[in-house]
C-alpha cells in the first residue's frame, strides 16, 4: 500500500502524514517514530483508507413525461418512495438510515422530534440536574429555598423525558432528588409556620 498523501494517516503530534510503511506494527509493544517530529506511536490502517469513494448520486433527469417525478425536484425522475410518508424521491433526496429509505423532510422531523435514535447526538441528563439542585444547595442551607422547588419541578416536568441513550440509565436519581426536595420544602414550611406562630402569639 502506497497511497496518495490524502490517503495517509496523520501523526498524532505534528499532523504530518505518515508513510505507509509505519502502519500496522506486528505487536503492540512496537512503537514507530514519526519521521518529522520523532514522536513514538502506533498507527493501524484499514481498507477504507485506500478505497475509492462511491460516486455522488445526483438523480436522473426526466426524459419521458409519463415518468413519476421527485416530490422535491420536479425535473428529476423518482427512484424510490419514502418509507415514512410515501413521497416519491429521486436519488439526490434519498437517505438510507436504519435500513429504511427516508426523504429529507422525514429525516429532519425525525431528528427534531427525537424519533430517530441513530441521529441523536446529545441528551440532557435531567436526573443529574435534579439531583444537583436537591443536594448542592444543602451546603449553603439558605439556597435550598430555591433549589428544592426547582429540583421538584425538574423531576415532575422531565420524568418521562428520555435520559441517556443506553438502557442502563435508570430513574433512581429522580426519586432521590424528589425525596430530598420534598424534605427540604417540608423543613422550610415548618420553619415559616413556627415564625408565623411566634409573630402572631406575641
Which residues of the shown chain bind other proteins in the complex (CB under 8 A)?
Answer: 7, 9-13, 23, 28, 31, 39-49, 51, 53, 84, 98, 100, 110, 115-118, 120-125, 128-129, 132, 164-167
Q: What is the DSSP letter of 185?
A: H
CB of 193 to other proteins, least distance (A): 35
CB of 146 to other proteins, least distance (A): 18
Distance CA 152, CA 161 (A): 15
Chain centroid to CA 72: 28
CB of 94 to other proteins, least distance (A): 17
Q: How many other C-beta atoms can be found within 10 angstroms of the C-beta atom of residue 36?
A: 13
62/89 with CB nearer other proteins: 89
142/168 with CB nearer other proteins: 168
Q: What is the DSSP letter of 85?
A: T
CB of 196 to other proteins, least distance (A): 38
CB of 141 to other proteins, least distance (A): 23
The three cell numbers of residue 62 are 426526466
Closest CA to 21 of 54, 37, 43: 43
Distance CA 124, CA 9 (A): 34
40/193 with CB nearer other proteins: 40
44/55 with CB nearer other proteins: 44
CB of 152 to other proteins, least distance (A): 18
31/186 with CB nearer other proteins: 31
Name 69's bridge partners: 77
115/157 with CB nearer other proteins: 115
Phi/psi region, residue 169 (left: phi>0; alpha: psi -120 to 50; beta: rest), is beta
Distance CA 84, CA 170 (A): 31
Closest CA to 10 of 22, 2, 1: 22
Amino acid at each position: 500500500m502506497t497511497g496518495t498523501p490524502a490517503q495517509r494517516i496523520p501523526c498524532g503530534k505534528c499532523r504530518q502524514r505518515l508513510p505507509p510503511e509505519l502502519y500496522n506494527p506486528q505487536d503492540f509493544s512496537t512503537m514507530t517514530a514519526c519521521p518529522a517530529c520523532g514522536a513514538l506511536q502506533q498507527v493501524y490502517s484499514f481498507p477504507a483508507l485506500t478505497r475509492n469513494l462511491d460516486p455522488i448520486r445526483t438523480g436522473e433527469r426526466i426524459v419521458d413525461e409519463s415518468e413519476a417525478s421527485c416530490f422535491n425536484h420536479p425535473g428529476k425522475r423518482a427512484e424510490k418512495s419514502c418509507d415514512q410518508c410515501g413521497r416519491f424521491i429521486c436519488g439526490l433526496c434519498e437517505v438510507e438510515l436504519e435500513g429504511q429509505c427516508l426523504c429529507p423532510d422525514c429525516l429532519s422531523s425525525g431528528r427534531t422530534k427525537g424519533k430517530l435514535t441513530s441521529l441523536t447526538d446529545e441528551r440532557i441528563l435531567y436526573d443529574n440536574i435534579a439531583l444537583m439542585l436537591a443536594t448542592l444547595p444543602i451546603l449553603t442551607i439558605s439556597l435550598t429555598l430555591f433549589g428544592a422547588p426547582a429540583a421538584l419541578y425538574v423531576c415532575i416536568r422531565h420524568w418521562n423525558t428520555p435520559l441517556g441513550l443506553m438502557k442502563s440509565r435508570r430513574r433512581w436519581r429522580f426519586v432521590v432528588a424528589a425525596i430530598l426536595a420534598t424534605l427540604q420544602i417540608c423543613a422550610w414550611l415548618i420553619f415559616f409556620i413556627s415564625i408565623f406562630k411566634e409573630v402572631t402569639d406575641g
